[in-house]
Amino acid sequence: MTKRKFGLGLSLVLAAGTILGACGSKDEETTKPKDSEGTGSEGTTEAVDFSLAMVTDVGGVDDKSFNQLAWEGIEAFGKENGLEKGDGGYDYLQSTGDADYITNLNNLVRRDFDVVYGIGFLMEEPIGTIADQQPEAQLAIIDAIVDKPNVASVMFKEQEGSFLAGVAAALMSESKQIGFVGGMEIPVIERFEAGFLEGVKAVDPSIKVDVQYTGKFDDAALGKTTANRMYSSGVDIIFHAAGGTGNGVFAEAKERKTKDANANVWVIGVDSDQYEEGAVGDKNITLTSMQKRVDIAVQTIAKEAMAGNFPGGKTVTYGLAEKGVQLADSRGAIPQEILDQVQEYSDKIAAGEIVVPETVE
């Protein structure tokens, strides 16, 4: 009995040994070409000698919103220039908590990426710290200003795009009740809120906007309950600026649309064009999306850096005039006459006739 058990144990150990052994040789094989590739790409290959990488905030790279858009921008840039994912090309690291930002940024800088992006406001302090420690590194931050000579800062006028979302929502709402679901109560999201409220007010000051902050960017369940409460109270359009939490808003709206095909529920997406998130069979509950072209911003910096003009120490602001924020194609959800009115406001804002406030009064 014991002998048999011992034999079993022995064979297990042997099996494990062979498995691990096999992996060992595979490992050597895979690392070797990588190294030679690394040295080779510096001079000979046709791909450009430029590399870029980003660190996500806690939302993760598949948040269907802010981080994902930035990553898509980097991916597109990489493919355009014949780069590959990994060292010497393009890559990302995901953060699971505040303590990870510094480590992740540091790891990427150490892997010699030419530009390292910190995606999101939460990385303001970490980027500043790394910028001081690694004066040779070229860093970029989205949604915050870090005043260091080797950091390029990108800001968006979210309030301008959100204003248009507010106009569209106010004109489209039948119940005259509109919802806003925010993530954390931070200046960026407050700009979304301020612009949205202002846009609604510009069309019809009597419309009530139910503003709810969930306090989180990564809690879809919370987004769903918040949306549930809003729709049940008579709200018919919800604008979310809550990253991953906003996916719950979509889930709730889709659930209602599935149960009752005539339900009048809409969601206005954020950051990326979230049309596909809203598909319910052949219908769609995405009214439009307030696009924040993080992808364009990321690529612009990459292009400038590749040309040797890295905009270190500068802050670039993208508004309606720069096409950094815009409403996505509504694919027929919004009738043309309303779109025309939205366009009017858009032109006025771009021309500076309307100045949208950044904070809620």
Partner 1 sequence: MSNRVVNILVPVISVILGLLVGAIVMLVSGYDPVQGYAALWNGIFGDTYAIGETIRQITPYLLAGLSVAFAFRTGLFNIGVEGQLLVGWFAAAYVGIAFDLPMYIHLPFAIIAAALAGALWAFIPGLLKAKLQVHEVIVTIMMNYIALHTTNALIKVVSDGGDNTGTINATASLKSAFFESITDYSRLHYGIFIALAMVLLMWFLLEKTTTGYELKAVGFNKHASEYAGMNVNKNIILSMVISGAFAGLAGAMEALGTFQYANVKGGFTGIGFDGIAVALLGANTPLGVIFGAVLFGSLKYGALNMPNEAGIPVEIVSIVIAIIIFFVACGYVIRYFLEKANKKKEAK
Give the residues lining the site for partner 1 (CB under 8 A).
Answer: 1-2, 5, 16, 19-20, 23-24, 26-27, 30-31, 58, 60, 86, 93-94, 96-100, 102-104, 106-108, 111, 122, 124-125, 133, 183-187, 215-219
Specify the residue, 98 or 260, whose C-beta has the smaller distance to partner 1: 98
Specify the residue, 86 or 313, whose C-beta has the smaller distance to partner 1: 86
Torsion of CA 189, 193, 196, 197, to 10 degrees: -170
Q: Compute the least distance from the CB of residue 190 to partner 1, in Å.
A: 9
DSSP 275: G
Q: Compute the least distance from the CB of residue 129 to partner 1, in Å.
A: 9
- Give φ, ψ of 117 to 5 degrees: -100, 135
Q: Compute the least distance from the CB of residue 91 to partner 1, in Å.
A: 8
Q: Compute the least distance from the CB of residue 184 to partner 1, in Å.
A: 5
Q: How many CB atoms lie within 10 A of CB 357?
A: 13
DSSP 149-173: TTEEEEEE-HHHHHHHHHHHHHHH-
Specify the residue, 217 or 239, whose C-beta has the smaller distance to partner 1: 217
* CB contact at 8 A, 268 and 239: yes
Specify the residue, 212 or 326, whose C-beta has the smaller distance to partner 1: 212
Using only C-alpha atoms, the chain has a radius of gyration, in whole angstroms, of 24
Specify the residue, 147 or 260, whose C-beta has the smaller distance to partner 1: 147
Specify the residue, 189 or 280, whose C-beta has the smaller distance to partner 1: 189
Q: Let me know the angle formed at the C-alpha of 40 by 34 and 44, rounded to the nearest 5 degrees.
A: 145
Cα within 13 Å of Cα(345), Cβ side: 28
Measured distance CA(55)–CA(140) in Å, rounded: 10
Q: Compute the least distance from the CB of residue 27 to partner 1, in Å.
A: 5
Q: Compute the least distance from the CB of residue 95 to partner 1, in Å.
A: 9
